[in-house]
Amino acid sequence: MTAPAAKTAPSVRPRRTSRRSLPGFHLTLGYTLFYLALIVLIPLSSLLFKTCTLSLDQLWTAIASPRVLASYRLTFGVSLLAALVNGVIGLLLAWVLVRYNFLGKKFIDALVDLPFALPTAVAGIALTALLASNGWVGQWFAPYGIALAFNPKGILIALIFIGLPFVVRTVQPVLADFEAEQEEAAVCLGASRWQTFWHVILPALMPALLTGFSMAFARAVGEYGSVIFIAGNMPMVSEITPLIIIGKLEQYDYAGATAVATVMLVISFALLLVINALQSWQRRRLGGRS
């Protein structure tokens, strides 16, 4: 006779308990959607509803007049150029602040955040005082016929000033967390400094760099306070689109102002979608390499 097989106790799996920082998923999600609708969706929908009160002829007249089209070209063109300049300068500045130690480093690091804290009107007045033909900086260019204020050049300088911190502060932590072993491995394989930067460091920084670029661009498109003092506000020359919107509001043309604002919203949203698509593609490419 064979002994009966011993009964094995069924294995009991430990119950997984999900721990969240904020208790109540449905409650927090509801508050999130509520505030998102209150702060973002409702104002944007009211903007679209007000624009829809115009007829097609009125809408086309409001958004496609020569003066408005010139403001679109100036606003988006200079904002894009300023964001590109900030992408290069911000990367260099973040590199210096992370990779080098020098006298006054903490002061320069704190100075980067100055455009965040400085009121835009104060920034515009200060830049105008510096770049005007009789200013501390502008007086050196005036004898050569170069005017840095009251023209698109002044707008570009103002937008570079207010957008630079976005690039520096998004790239700086990523660069600080970058593993030095990857650079050492590239050097051991015979890569030069430029090859190491171009093929190892820059791809890792590209998502953060694109994020800073998009934030600087978005801030530049909607900037008003620091620009109106230094732009000169000449129609067809140095008049930005936010000033067009303010002018229509002062004339009680609320529907025309919302129509122009809607065009800016659509163009900005489309450009940000393109930038986000580039970020996703860059992340997938980096994930495929690893």
Q: pLDDT digit string (tens) for 99-152? A: 889 898 999 999 999 998 888 889 999 999 999 988 899 999 988 889 999 999
Length of the chain: 290
Residue 233 backbone class (left: φ over 0; alpha: ψ -120 to 50; beta: rest): left
- Hey, what CATH class is 47-289 in? mainly alpha
Which of 49-73 are b and which e, b meaning 16 or more Cβ less than 10 Å from the residue's Cβ?
ebbeebeeeebeebbeeeebebbbe
Q: What is the pTM of this model?
A: 0.82
Q: Which residues contact 112 (CB under 8 A, 6 or more apart)?
A: 93, 97, 164, 165, 168, 169
Reduced to 3 states (helix: H, G, I; strand: E, B; else coil), residue 210 is helix
User: Considering only CA atoms, which of 83, 98, 279, 282 is closest in space to residue 172?
Assistant: 98
Where along the chain do its domains lie? 47-289
From residue 10, give the alpha-carbon distance in Å to each of 7, 13, 16, 149, 276.
9, 9, 18, 81, 50
Give the residue ranges of DSSP H helices in 152-232.
152-176, 180-188, 193-196, 202-221, 228-231
Residue type, 83: A
Q: pLDDT digit string (tens) for 70-92? A: 999 999 999 999 999 999 999 99
Burial bucket for residue 187 (CB in 10 Å: 0-12, 13-18, 19+): middle
From residue 179, give the alpha-carbon distance in Å to each of 167, 182, 195, 201.
21, 6, 17, 10
What distance in Å separates the CA atoms of residue 217 and residue 270, rounded to the nearest whole number? Answer: 13
Handedness of CA 229, 230, 236, 242 (dihedral sign): negative
Residue position matching structure tokens 């020569």: 66
Q: pLDDT digit string (tens) for 151-200? A: 999 999 999 999 999 999 999 999 988 877 777 787 787 778 888 888 88
How does the average pLDDT of the chain come out, rounded?
Answer: 85
Asked if residues 256 and 203 have their Cβ atoms less than 8 Å apart, the reply is: no
- What's the mean pLDDT in 260-272? 88
Q: pLDDT digit string (tens) for 20-69? A: 555 567 777 888 888 888 888 888 888 888 888 888 998 899 999 999 99
Structure tokens at 34: 């509520």
